[in-house]
Amino acid sequence: MHITSNSWLNIDKPSGCSSALAVNLIKKITKANKVGHSGTLDPFATGVLPIALNKATKTCQYIENRIKKYYFEISWGEFRDSDDITGNVVESSSLRPKTEDIVDILPRFIGKISQIPSIFSAVKVNGQRSYHLARQGIDVQIKARQITIFKIKLVFNDKQRAGLEVVCSKGTYIRSLARDIAQTLGVCGYVSLLKRLQVGDFSISNAISLAKLKNIVKYDCPGNLLLQLRDVLNFIPEIELNNFDASKINNGQFIKLDNNFANISTCNKSSCGILIKVINQGVLISLANLQNGLLKPLNNF
């Protein structure tokens, strides 16, 4: 089956598969013209990987900015150079944190905090991915970045490991968060399990495996698996245009809006305007910028 719609899939990525490999596999399964993902997951990690098909790939950046939720486990007793299970041991200790000590220090990580990503991350240093440089033995210096932790809670803790859930902003490295928690506790620890539970409205509760996707597409019944652009981008305000104005947008022309849309044009004080979904006959046809009553198409579908 050849999926031609501009839509999204909610994939539960398996461990041992990179996000790029998942994209390649899904392209073969769906035969879509274009496939992209929003928010990279490390190969050892599992969970929600939002996948865009065809022209929906133009909207990946908007999904990537959504709030994310993870479950992760910290194994105690070792620091690893990658801060996760794939790395080499660089330090070990027999010290183990008490549950009450973990609970006491977690509030320090809530809010806007500074974080230094692992040198084995995809952060670019002088135009190259940090992990490429690190694997060559090159000394890598990564600058701290501001992230936001909205919630973090301890699920369990024992002598071997602890399980935690975190709700965080784009740009948060869970491996680095686990490293910083261990350092604050005065013990060694690294991420041994990582599962993404949510990206915006994409939830693990309705994510599907690659095997299930392949089976469903094989029998030509993707049906409810395909998430429509209008629904996925429900956090972006929208306006409905008649056929005449919609044709102008489709042709890349600007439109001067009447007073019926004044509430939208004044809801954002930004000098660069506000992002709007443009709807015609119930279908999303464009993402446009609205500024001073003038609607300018950005991406047409």
Residues 169 and 212 in one domain: no
What pLDDT is recorded for position 100? 98
Residues 75 and 140 in one domain: yes
Mean pLDDT over 249-276 rounds to 73
Residues 181 and 216 in one domain: no
User: How does pLDDT run across 171-184, given as a tens digit for each residue?
Assistant: 999 999 999 999 99
Tokens found for residue 120 = 């084995």
Q: What CA–CA distance (Å, rounded) separates 194 from 49?
A: 13
How many domains is the chain built from?
A: 3
Measure the N-to-C terminal CA separation of the chain; round to a whole number of Å. 21
Q: Which amino acid is at 256?
A: K
Residues 46 and 92 in one domain: no
User: How does pLDDT run across 69-94, given as a tens digit for each residue?
Assistant: 999 999 999 999 999 999 999 999 99
User: How does pLDDT run across 13-28, given as a tens digit for each residue?
Assistant: 999 999 999 999 999 9
Q: Which residues pair with 47 in a beta bridge?
A: 13, 196
Of the residues 216, 232, 248, the one at which a domain ends = 232
Q: What CA–CA distance (Å, rounded) separates 254 from 297?
A: 7
Mean pLDDT over 193-221 rounds to 94
Q: Is 1 inside a domain boundary?
A: no
CATH number at residue 243: 2.30.130.10
Residues 156 and 189 in one domain: yes
Q: What CA–CA distance (Å, rounded) separates 66 from 84?
A: 24
User: What DSSP string runs through the chain?
Assistant: ----S-EEEEEEEPTT--HHHHHHHHHHHH--S-EEESS---TT-EEEEEEEEGGGGGGHHHHHTS-EEEEEEEEESEEETTSBTTS-EEEE------HHHHHHHGGGGSEEEEE---TTSS-EETTEEHHHHHHTT-------EEEEEEEEEEEEE-SSEEEEEEEE-TT--HHHHHHHHHHHHTS-EEEEEEEEEEETTEEGGG-B-HHHHHHHHHTT--GGGSEEHHHHTTTS-EEE--HHHHHHHHTT--EE--GGGHHHHTS---TT-EEEEEEETTEEEEEEEEETTEEEEEEE-
Radius of gyration of the chain (CA): 22
Within 13 Å and on the Cβ side, how many CA atoms surround 239?
29
Residues 177 and 112 in one domain: yes
Which residue numbers are catalytic? 42
Mean pLDDT over 262-279 rounds to 69
User: How does pLDDT run across 104-124, given as a tens digit for each residue?
Assistant: 999 999 999 999 887 776 677
Would you give the distance in Å from CA 57 to the centre of its chain? 14
CATH number at residue 31: 3.30.2350.10
Of the residues 150, 178, 199, the one at which a domain ends = 199
Residues 145 and 32 in one domain: no
Q: Is 2 inside a domain boundary?
A: no
Q: What CA–CA distance (Å, rounded) separates 85 from 43?
A: 11
Q: Is 207 inside a domain boundary?
A: yes
Q: Is 273 inside a domain boundary?
A: yes
- Domain holding 104, by residue range, is 68-199
